């Protein structure tokens, strides 16, 4: 097998310390101190006004679609995890697929314009295997 990515794991001792704190607090879900701390750190690092962690990427996409009140067509890539498309469909929008670039495997920016019409409300691109969409 050829791995396309390698996961980063912190030293196990650091991880166990954090896990012990979770066990002591007996708080496993929403709004726990570790999540709040990480939200603040990432908000500062990215110099954002607001930040909200959610359960997973699917929920994040669905929230973004809801927050933007999207109801029509969203241009996206056919080469992504299924949630990229299912979140669009679950929010009642129509995915419009634009072919990918042979080198980056991302949506081909040169093909997007011809897919835009009066129903287009957004472009949902994903960065494939660490290649940023340009
Ligand atoms: C591009 C992309 N979008 C959405 C998702 C969905 O994320 P989750 O499995 O956390 O819901 C993934 C998950 O791998 C993803 O790679």
Give the model's confidence band at 127: pLDDT under 50 very low, under 70 low, under 90 confident, else very high: very high
In this structure, is residue 89 part of a structural domain? yes
pTM of the model: 0.81
Considering the domain architecture, whether residues 62 and 119 belong to the same structural domain is answered as yes
Considering the domain architecture, whether residues 86 and 37 belong to the same structural domain is answered as no
Considering the domain architecture, whether residues 21 and 74 belong to the same structural domain is answered as no
Residue among 4, 64, 83 to mutate when testing ligand 1 (max atoms within 8 A of CB) = 83
In this structure, is residue 39 part of a structural domain? yes
pLDDT at 30 over 90: no
In this structure, is residue 132 part of a structural domain? no
**In the sheet that 120-124 helps form, which strands lie side by side, from edge to edge?**
94-97, 73-76, 120-124
53 to 29, 32, 43, 121, 124: CA distances (angstroms):
12, 11, 11, 25, 19
Looking at the 3D structure of the chain, how many domains does it have?
A: 2
In this structure, is residue 133 part of a structural domain? no
pLDDT at 90 over 90: yes
Which structural domain range is residue 103 located in?
57-124
Q: Pocket residues for ligand 1 (CB within 6 Å)?
A: 56-58, 61, 80-81, 83-84, 126
pLDDT at 4 over 90: no
pLDDT at 10 over 90: no
Ranges of H-type helices in the chain: 12-25, 33-45, 57-67, 82-90, 109-112
The residue nearest atom 7 of ligand 1, judged by CA position, is 57
* CA 58 to ligand 1: nearest atom: 11
């Amino acid at each position: 097998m050829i791995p396309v990515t390698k996961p980063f794991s912190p030293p196990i001792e650091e991880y166990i310390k954090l896990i012990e704190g979770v066990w002591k607090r007996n708080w496993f879900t929403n709004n726990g101190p570790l999540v709040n701390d990480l939200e603040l750190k990432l908000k500062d690092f990215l110099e954002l006004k607001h930040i909200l962690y959610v359960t997973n990427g699917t929920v994040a996409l669905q929230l973004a679609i809801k927050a933007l009140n999207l109801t029509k067509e969203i241009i996206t890539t056919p080469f992504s995890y299924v949630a990229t498309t299912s979140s669009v469909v679950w929010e009642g929008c129509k995915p419009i697929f634009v072919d990918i670039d042979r080198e980056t495997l991302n949506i081909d920016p040169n093909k997007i314009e011809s897919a835009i019409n009066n129903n287009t409300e957004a472009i949902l691109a994903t960065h494939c295997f660490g290649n940023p969409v340009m």
